Amino acid sequence: MTKFTDLNLNAKVLKAIEEAGYESPTPIQAGAIPPALEGRDVLGIAQTGTGKTASFTLPMLSLLARGRARARMPRSLVLCPTRELAAQVAENFDTYSKHLKLTKALLIGGVSFKEQDKLIDKGVDVLIATPGRLLDHFERGKLILSDVKVMVVDEADRMLDMGFIPDIERIFGLTPFTRQTLFFSATMAPEIERITNTFLSNPERIEVARQATTSENITQGVVMFKASRKDREATEKRKLLRLLIDAEGEKCTNAIIFCNRKMDVDTVAKSLKKYGYDAAPIHGDLDQSQRTKTLEGFRNGELRFLIASDVAARGLDVPSVSHVFNFDVPSHAEDYVHRIGRTGRAGRDGKAIMICVPRDEKNFEDVERLVQKEIPRLENPLQADVPVAEEATAEAPAKTDDKPKRTRSRSRKSDAPRAEKTAVEKPAEDKQPQAEAPKDPPKPEAQPAPMQDERKAQRGGGNNDRTPRGRGRNDKRGGNDNRVVGLGDHTPDFIGLSFRERI
């Protein structure tokens, strides 16, 4: 069996490893450290939680044991996608370099530039940074990357997939062409691998497990959940999460609950607090001080539930996480491997439970296709409350439906007398005009004669005007306002004038 003493590491580094309690390297460490010590480029792919950080930390420290960094010119560079992962890598360097006189600087957002500038001005051997903050320092003229001898990209696929490709290309262009490059990740999609070929020169590929495989000591399960009503989905889904936590009982000592969206992280955290669960959120919109405090509380056991976005899925090492709950199915299947990799670390047993709603079934199929195994379906705890739920759902529609029914019945009763009245009154109204019409037959016939005489007077009294155009013009000038609206029961004489002349 291979031991760290067989890997030609620096003696002081070996001493720090022994004091940390490690004797034998993991497969990825045993495969990556020898070629890294030889100065070759390395592409390391292994399951999360298998010690990839030490795979590049230990050889880097051995190579940097001799020499000294100059001001603003770091000798090595480690790029990480998130602040938490960068801080974790910095802790690993502190652990393994305590017997070496090497300096380091951590460049991450959310921290003052002033303290970081002081460290860079003194000169650092190891520079650990996120791409954005690194370029900020470079553009301010505080950093020179022409002396970088070893460059590491941790969680390489995530770095290249999160929109960091332009930044990574620019940073690589600022470093010497003769640098040594190390890429490490748990997943490496083919399209991402083609991009890495432009950054690596004849790399040594170490793949200790099939890409995107999950650890065998992690028990996986999924609950296929469909809400009783669409507007109740969020509420019932949070209730399902609480039931799943309660079902685990004392086995669930602590857990990370992953959500796809930051707003859901805050909502789930508030909901769990409301029902008496010890929970706190962590995502990219929070202040760095708050994120650090929350993560430290979770690591120390002061916090039981950490509600997180994918910012906490990559590389965070909390050895004693017993459970991982996926409140949402991840949009990218690779994220599922990283999420559940937060449990079952260092040989421990872990459990990962996921909630899948109908709209996430396509993403769930992508996850099963990636891991090449069927994730066992778990029984929905809400089904135990089916009678109660059915009663609630049965009562709710009944109450809502009763109102319109009552209004309809009342309206029918109230409308009935009205209909009878109208039915009785209408014939009376119809009879009155029929009875009264014969009494005054001359009234409608008496009106056209004077009107016709007036029009003739206005036209000059002649019957030779074939059209009433003259009258219309007089109307426009403000002459005559008496206009024929309808013909009534007779035909006025002027309509037949043109016909008579033609005949």
- Number of Cβ within 10 Å of residue 397's Cβ equals 10
- Do 218-379 and 4-207 have the same topology in CATH? yes
d(CA 361, CA 363): 5
d(CA 434, CA 447): 21
Give the position of tokens 């460049």: 107
Task: Give the residue extent of every domain in the chain.
Answer: 4-207, 218-379, 389-439, 442-502
| Nearest in space to 220 (alpha carbons), one of 364, 384, 359 | 364
pLDDT of residue 284: 79
10-residue mean pLDDT profile of the chain (503 residues): values are 87 93 90 94 81 91 90 94 88 92 91 91 94 94 94 81 81 93 80 76 83 77 94 95 94 94 94 96 85 88 92 69 94 86 82 95 93 92 58 39 43 44 43 45 46 48 45 46 57 62 54
| Nearest in space to 326 (alpha carbons), one of 347, 357, 298 | 357
Q: Are 96 and 20 in contact (CB under 8 A)?
A: yes
Can you say whether the dihedral through the CA atoms of 11, 17, 22, 25 is positive or negative?
A: negative
pLDDT of residue 448: 46
pLDDT of residue 342: 85
pLDDT of residue 397: 41
Distances (CA, A) of 405 to 194, 264, 392: 67, 39, 20
pLDDT of residue 419: 43
d(CA 109, CA 203): 31
pLDDT of residue 362: 94
Q: Write the DSSP symbol of residue 311.
A: G
pLDDT of residue 319: 73
Domain 4-207: assigned CATH number = 3.40.50.300
> What would the two tokens of residue 10 be?
């620096």
Q: Does the pTM of the predicted model rise above 0.85? A: no
Q: Are 157 and 189 in contact (CB under 8 A)?
A: yes
- Place domain 218-379 in its CATH homologous superfamily: P-loop containing nucleotide triphosphate hydrolases (3.40.50.300)
